Amino acid sequence: MRRLIHTTRLPEWALAVTLMLLVPVIFSGCGKRNDAGPASRVSIAVFVPGVMSGSPIYEMLAQGVQRAGSEYPQAEVQVVEAGYNQAEWEPKLTALAAAKSYDLIVSSNPSLPALAQAVSAKFPEQKFLLLDGEISGNPAIYTMRYNQREQAYIAGHIAALIAQEGKTPIGVSKKIGLIAGQEYPAMNTIMLPAYGEAARTIDPAFKVDFRVVGNWFDAGRGAELALDMIRSGSAVILCVAGGANEGVVQAASETGAKVIWFDTNGYGIRPGTVAGSAILRQDLAAYEQTKRFLDGTLPFGTAEVVGIKDGYVDFIEDDQNYIAAVSSEVRAKQAELLRRIRTGELVLGN
């Protein structure tokens, strides 16, 4: 492992600017340094491309890395929120690598591999562990991407079952909604198509109303889009919009519409309104892969894709709020789909 304390040729003002840019929000592992001295310390930065609050995928990222760090006395973990201005991500990531203070930078987002690749060209010694993205062949970068075709498929399946059953103010409907924070390749080419494809296995007439917030925080805009969708006939809406999800849930609960939650178990957020949770075990992935790094076994240069059979993508069926919100007929059909995927009877690809 590289030494934590080192000499740097950056002028003092550059260092000050770097530190200001990197507003550290959480420190953990402080005080856990062992007596062997700084040479044995391992410093890990969690680079959050956005903010954690309201985005379960980032909350899980930080939790997982911190949990791994807490199991190794020599490890220290620092979480850095890069904010919503995506133009600032590359300079901020560059500053983090330029500081030469971190043995590993951990992050999560489909846009991170390209950014890390650019930073890696300038700072080839900097190691990256990237989740929810994919790149292979760079000896400094390891990636783990989730099978989001499966995740969106199981979400579309339950959404269509509930819409078809018609126990909402709209009645029987062949239209389901999807609200995304922004358009990006994984959304447009994987999640949106899989969501509709699953719905059309329930009835080929199903259509998807797809709307985009334009950012990952505007709950007011999320609510507006959801209300408009409900007025146009979608009573079940999948939300993948970070902090804007809150507005979608609010609008749905006021109108009796249903929300399908993505990434974490969302039933408790608004019992009765949240009627499905298609999750990623990003906390587990972050924990396990950080541990592999700390054990010296993380296979840098490789890219893994994991899904339902590996236990990293799932649908939560045993939550009391799900059981109370969704009829036993719909739950039985959803359970049957999950069984077929888990046993390999239905292979969705990725």
What residue ranges bind ligand RBF (CB under 6 A)? 50, 55, 57, 86, 109-111, 132, 181, 184, 186, 216, 240, 242, 262-263, 280
Which residue lies nearer to ligand RBF by CB, 159 or 330? 159
Which residue lies nearer to ligand RBF by CB, 50 or 266? 50
We find the least distance from the C-beta atom of residue 109 to ligand RBF, in angstroms, to be: 5
Which residue lies nearer to ligand RBF by CB, 103 or 246? 246
We find the least distance from the C-beta atom of residue 52 to ligand RBF, in angstroms, to be: 9
Which residue lies nearer to ligand RBF by CB, 152 or 251? 152
Which residue lies nearer to ligand RBF by CB, 216 or 287? 216
Cα 162–Cα 218–Cα 157 angle in degrees, nearest 5? 20
We find the least distance from the C-beta atom of residue 130 to ligand RBF, in angstroms, to be: 11
We find the least distance from the C-beta atom of residue 2 to ligand RBF, in angstroms, to be: 29
Which residue lies nearer to ligand RBF by CB, 103 or 132? 132
